[in-house]
Amino acid sequence: MKVLLVNGSRREKGCTYTALNVIAEELKKNGIDSEIFYVGMRAVNGEVNELVKEAADKMADCDGIIVGSPVYYASPTGEVEVFLDRLFYNHGDVLRYKPAASVASARRGGTTATFDALNKYYTITEMPIVSSNYWNMVHGKTPEDVLKDEEGVQVMQILARNMAWILKSIEAGKKAGVAQPQGVEKKYTNFIR
């Protein structure tokens, strides 16, 4: 089983990466593979379609997803939002029913608003959200700061452990004959009489 870890930072090896790397290590300890997928600036540099296609292809082979974003002005970054808007609008089929989580990386504030915004993609796509013992956030300006955020590191480790548990439980459920819900045709109504 494998989890796609989306690094939504412009910095390939910055704070968000550091948090995702803690998750990757803990997933490995729990027998789950992972891959870090770097979003960078491609979504806002005219490559969003290629980027989203690459992510969707990878997601087809993954059983869960964790999206990490730095906090920019108390929100996920613009490039993460462009990427996720397109990924979730066009590729719900490879995401639906897969467990998901979000991670916010900030120097100081705006983490819970960012966490909430990211989680909204999952809750419109029938994806079970995996949680930890605090809202998933790390603090710092450098990777070293993040590793000093002992509580943040523990939150990432517990998140990874819980993701591994949920993935194994879903797998065990399938083997025991628990069927995945069947998709229904979605009703779309506008608030217009």
Ligand X SMILES: Cc1cc2nc3c(=O)[nH]c(=O)nc-3n(C[C@H](O)[C@H](O)[C@H](O)COP(=O)(O)O)c2cc1C
Binding site for ligand X (CB under 6 A): 9-11, 14-16, 70-74, 105-110, 140-141
Q: Measure Cα distances from 151 to 36, 105, 107, 111, 138 in Å.
A: 22, 13, 15, 15, 8
CB of 126 to ligand X, least distance (A): 29
Given the complex with ligand X, which of 21 and 132 has the nearer CB atom? Answer: 21
CB of 142 to ligand X, least distance (A): 7
Q: Which 8-state DSSP code applies to residue 109?
A: S
Rounded to 10°, the helix 15-29/150-175 angle is 50
- Residues 165/102/147/4 CA torsion (nearest 10 deg): 70
Q: Which residue number is nearest to ligand X in terms of Cβ? A: 14
Given the complex with ligand X, which of 105 and 136 has the nearer CB atom? Answer: 105
Say how far apart CA 123 and CA 127 lie, in whole Å. Answer: 6
CB of 63 to ligand X, least distance (A): 25
Question: Strand 75-76 to strand 137-139: parallel, antiparallel, or no bridges (unpaired)?
Answer: unpaired
CB of 10 to ligand X, least distance (A): 6
Given the complex with ligand X, which of 64 and 110 has the nearer CB atom? Answer: 110
Given the complex with ligand X, which of 10 and 168 has the nearer CB atom? Answer: 10
Say how far apart CA 131 and CA 188 lie, in whole Å. Answer: 30
According to DSSP, the residues that pair with 66 across neighbouring strands are 5, 101
Say how far apart CA 134 and CA 156 lie, in whole Å. Answer: 9
**Contact yes or no for 53/89 (Cβ under 8 A):** no
CB of 108 to ligand X, least distance (A): 4
What is the per-residue DSSP string for 93-122?
A: GGTTT--EEEEEEESSS-HHHHHHHHHHHH
Given the complex with ligand X, which of 133 and 142 has the nearer CB atom? Answer: 142
CB of 100 to ligand X, least distance (A): 19
Given the complex with ligand X, which of 100 and 106 has the nearer CB atom? Answer: 106
